[in-house]
Amino acid sequence: MKKENVIVAEELTKAFGDFKAVNAISFEVKKGEIFGFLGANGAGKTTAMKMLIGISKPSSGKAKVAGFDVYTQTESIKKNIGYMSQKFALYDDLTVKENITFFGGIYGLSRAKIKEKREQLISELGLEGISNKLVGSLPLGWKQKLSFSVSLIHEPKIVFLDEPTGGVDPITRRQFWEMIYKAADQGTTIFVTTHYMDEAEYCDRVSIMVEGKIEALDTPKKLKEQFKVASMNDVFLKLARNIEL
């Protein structure tokens, strides 16, 4: 069964003066897919993502997200996506409940819906005892799980995760990925950037960006075969080294 494409990019480019931060990248992401967007720091991952989520205008090229054009329909895109940034981005001085209510509110959820979501979220994350505590007092891992759940509060078609697991311990990362799988199973498309190569193995397909260009794009298994190495880490190193040579 062929699934529909929810993200399509063609020759998408972002230039700052002469410097092309993102250089004519093309790819598709299918519905329900976990798409890993890999690259070293400064390879252009975040810039590319910003164009897709509608907060940065492309210099040239085409892209559609959830069926909407990134030049003209950013408002519709925003309603259909969730986003979690590499900086932890809930409000530390609001309680768990208040954060959920606030983000539900800005996505225009009804009061009843917010209440339902809030209870569901709190019980799923096991935060019953501390739902009235300020988020600032929670451990980083919990904050990140909460942040991810909040980015899904309006049941978006696609969720963009920008280095979501930076700075958390391996166990929490593992739990975080379980949450990602669960969301993907329910039909949410996951677009995730990371520079942890072991996480790349968890993705359905990965693209590897080097200096603004997509240098490789396939399933982790095929990439490893193609480069004749045992791990994604080696794929990445090989690619990066080739570029340098």
Partner 1 sequence: MKRFIGFIKKEFYHIFRDRRSLFILFGMPIAQILLFGFAITNEINNVDIAILDHSKDATTEEIINKISASKYFTINQMIAREADIETAFKKGKIKAVLNFEKDFSKNLIKEQKATIQIITDATDPNTANSITNYINAILQNYQQSKNKGIVVEYQIIPQTRMVYNPELKSVFMFVPGVMTIILMLVSAMMTSISITREKELGTMEILLVSPLKPFQVIIGKVVPYIFLSVINAAVIVLLSIFIFKMPVQGSLFLLGAESVLFIITSLALGILISTIAETQQSAMMISLMGLMLPVILLSGFIFPITSMAAPLQIISHIIPAKWFIIIIKGIMLKGVGMAYIWKETLILIGMTIFFIGLSVKKYKIRLE
**Interface positions with partner 1 (CB under 8 A):** 53-57, 75, 78-79, 81, 83-94, 98, 101-103, 105-108, 134
For residue 99, the minimal CB distance to partner 1 (Å) is: 9
Name the one residue in this structure whose structure tokens are 């697991």: 165
Helical segments of 70-169, H only? 74-80, 96-106, 111-124, 140-151
Nearer to partner 1, 107 or 196 (CB): 107
How far apart are alpha carbons 98 and 170 in whole angstroms? 29
For the record, the structure tokens of 12 come out as 């998408």
Nearer to partner 1, 108 or 129 (CB): 108
> Is 224 strand, coil or helix?
helix
Nearer to partner 1, 92 or 225 (CB): 92
For residue 225, the minimal CB distance to partner 1 (Å) is: 37
For the record, the structure tokens of 13 come out as 């480019």
Nearer to partner 1, 136 or 187 (CB): 136
For residue 102, the minimal CB distance to partner 1 (Å) is: 5
CB 195 within 8 A of CB 41: yes
Name the one residue in this structure whose structure tokens are 């988020």: 135
For residue 111, the minimal CB distance to partner 1 (Å) is: 8
